[in-house]
Amino acid sequence: MATPAATKRLTKEYASITKSPPPYIVAHPSEKNILEWHYILTGPPDTPYDGGQYWGTLMFPPDYPFAPPAIRMHTPSGRFQPSTRLCLSISDFHPKSFNPAWEVSTILTGLLSFMTSEEMTTGSVRASEQERKLFAQRTRWWNSTGGGSKQMSTQSSNSRGIGGIKAGDGGAKFRLEWPETDEENLQWMKEKRIDSATGLPRPVQSSSQLHCSPEVAGLRRRPGASATVVHDAAQIARDAGQGWLSRNKWKMVLGAMMMYILVARVLGDGAVSMST
C-alpha cells in the first residue's frame, strides 16, 4: 500500500503528465492501485519502431519517490524481452542511483531514449532493423489480442512478480487499462483485414473466384422462372452443342431422294427417245 507521501506525489504527477505529456508518451495509474502505472510509447519517426504501439508498466514501491519503480514493456518490440524487468539506472535494479526529483515523465523519457539506442542490459535483446520494423507493424494486433492465443506465455524467470503480463491473455489486461485505444486497434484491424489469430492480412478473393462463367450463369434458374423457361434454356444449350449436319440430316435425306427420282426420270426419257 502506498504511503500518503507516495500517493500525493503520484497524484500530482498524473495531473502533470496528463496536462503536458512528453512526446510519444502517454501514461496513467491503474484505478485499483496508484502504484501500478500503465504507459504506451509510440515509436518515433526515423527509427525501426516508427508508428509502433508499445505498452508497459511501472510498478512503484510504497516509499516512492525515495526508490525507483520496476519497469517492464509487455509488447514484443525486438528490443526488450516481453514483460521482463529491465535493468536501467532509473529502475529498481539500481535504487541507490535513483534521484527523488525524477518524475514519471522523466522515467519514461529515459526509457524511450534507451529503447532507440543499441545499448544492452538485462532484459534487452538483439534483433535486426527489419525484424524490429515487423514487430512494430504487429504491435496493435498483439496488444488487443494478447498475441492471438490464450495458451502461450512469454514470461521468463525475471518477469515474476506484480506487473508481469502473460502473453496470450486475449488482450484482457490491455483492454481493461486502455479501452478506447483497444477499440481503435480493433477498428484498425478490421480496416486492414488483419486476422485476429495470426496478425497477418487476410487474402483477398479475386473476381474470378466470386463470379461463374457466363455459360454457367445462363443456365441458372432465376427465382420465379418457370420450368418451361429452364427447359427451353437447356434445349438451346443442347442445340448449340450439336453440329449443322446432325441438325439437318432429314432435309438431306429428302433432298437425296428427290434428286434420285429426277435423275431416274431424265435417264428414262432418254432411253425412250433412242428407241424411237
**Which of the residues are catalytic?**
87
Collect all residues with Cβ–Cβ distance below 8 Å to 97 and sequence separation of at least 6: 89
d(CA 74, CA 85): 10
The answer to whether 38 touches 57, Cβ cutoff 8 Å, is yes
d(CA 258, CA 60): 112
d(CA 271, CA 276): 9
Residue type, 45: P
Cβ atoms within 10 Å, residue 18: 11
CA distances from 106 to 25, 90, 112, 113 (A): 11, 9, 10, 11
Cβ atoms within 10 Å, residue 43: 23
d(CA 185, CA 171): 11
The answer to whether 71 touches 162, Cβ cutoff 8 Å, is no
Helices within the chain (DSSP H only)? 4-19, 104-115, 129-137, 139-145, 172-177, 179-191, 207-210, 214-219, 227-241, 244-247, 249-275
